[in-house]
Amino acid sequence: MSFLSEISLRDFELDQTNIYESGERTIIIKKWNWDYKLAHQFQRKCLELLEASPKIRIIICCSHPRVFTNGRGLQKPKKGEILNLIEFDKSQAKHLPFPFYQIERGGGLTFHHPGQMIIYPIVRLNPKTLSLSKMIDDLFEFAISILHEWELDGLNHEQKLLGLWHGDRKIASMGIAIEKLTTFHGMALNFYKDEEMRKALNAVNPCGISAETYTSVEELIELKNKTLDQFADKFLQKLTYSWK
């Protein structure tokens, strides 16, 4: 863990049990229900470290307590497209039932809750090995592959609105930020449903679309003994194998 020796893990409510090494290049941080502000500060600290060691990859796998975040703006339509997205009125943020953060990723208002799996790749992009488009496609495809193994089919990420979709229902959102060719922020996949968050979404149109559009893995298949932790471990195995 020498790469992270410059960071005081305690400052971010982390310890050695949250950190795993995968090969020579990849460090995995895994923490459930992690305070959003601390996780964001940790991402920014990792960006600083990658300036000196650009070949290292830090993959954060986590969830957060209920929180709203707002990015730089909604998805822009391509030529000839009409998206009919509803912009969030930031003056209404003070009326939200959960904390609100204005952040630097792409996209509009989105939500997090403990039943999500969030992947934040802190990775230096390379047009030959890992471009931004490949990163986004890979993250969606890793999720599709695991859910196919769990007998959930019909998923795709090729609709005009960015995300992972099951028909007209959305189960994962993507919002990336890039500084000095290094990515942060990432993908949030709804694994378990969250009724408290669902009530709050009715007033905010996350990602500019109706709250009823969103669903979760739990609502699409019978999980039986399958857990979020198992899904995350499978996802990280696929990611670290593919991003050697």
- Report pLDDT digits (tens) over 29-79: 999 999 999 999 999 999 999 999 999 999 999 999 999 999 998 888 877
pLDDT at 2: 63
What pairing do the DSSP bridges indicate for beta strands 57-62 and 26-31?
parallel
Burial class of 189 by CB neighbour count within 10 A (0 to 12, 13 to 18, 19+):
buried
pLDDT at 29: 97
Residue whose structure tokens are 């449903």: 193
pLDDT at 51: 93
Residue 104: band (very low, low, confident or very high) from pLDDT cuts 50, 70, 90: very high
Whole-prediction pTM: 0.95
Q: Which has more confidence, 80 or 218? A: 218
- Report pLDDT digits (tens) over 154-203: 999 988 899 999 999 999 999 999 999 999 999 999 999 999 999 999 88
Tell me the catalytic residues: 207
- Report pLDDT digits (tens) over 117-166: 999 999 999 989 999 999 999 999 999 999 999 999 999 998 889 999 99
Closest residue by Cα to residue 105 from 175, 58, 189:
175
> In the β-sheet with 116-122, what is the strand arrangement from edge to edge?
19-22, 26-31, 57-62, 116-122, 182-190, 169-179, 164-166, 155-156
pLDDT at 144: 98
Note the CATH number of domain 15-72+86-242: 3.30.930.10
Q: What is the DSSP letter of 91?
A: G
For the chain, domain boundaries = 15-72+86-242
